[in-house]
């Protein structure tokens, strides 16, 4: 069960970059090949809470999901 936290509409290039939310809540990107440094795209975009996994969804927005809960199988 995911919950949309903040609407950003970030354009992304998944073939060349890895996108993530760092420990400070900033949205960052890093080249997949390992060459280059991490770039901060949005500074302090979200305040993180314990027990949630934060990520960029398909629309380029920040979403979160509870940690430690397995998704239910469809009946």
pLDDT digits (tens, 9 = 90+) for 17-73: 999 999 999 999 999 987 889 999 999 999 999 999 999 999 999 999 999 866 667
Name the domain count of the chain. 1
> Residue 73 falls within a domain, yes or no?
no
pTM of the model: 0.79
Domain that holds residue 25: 3-66
In order of 40, 51, 62, 72, 75, the CA distances from 29 in angstroms are: 7, 23, 14, 31, 38
Q: Which residues of 16-35 are buried (b: 16+ CB within 10 A; e: fewer)?
A: ebebebeeebbbbbeeeeee
Q: Is residue 34 part of a domain?
A: yes
> Is position 39 within any domain?
yes
């Amino acid at each position: 069960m995911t919950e949309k936290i903040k609407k950003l509409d970030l354009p992304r290039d998944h073939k060349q970059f890895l996108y993530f939310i760092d420990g400070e809540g900033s949205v960052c990107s890093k080249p997949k090949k390992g060459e280059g440094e991490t770039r901060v795209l949005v500074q302090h975009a979200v305040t993180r809470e314990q027990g949630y996994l934060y990520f960029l969804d398909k629309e380029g927005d920040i979403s979160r999901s509870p940690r430690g809960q397995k998704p239910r199988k469809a009946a």
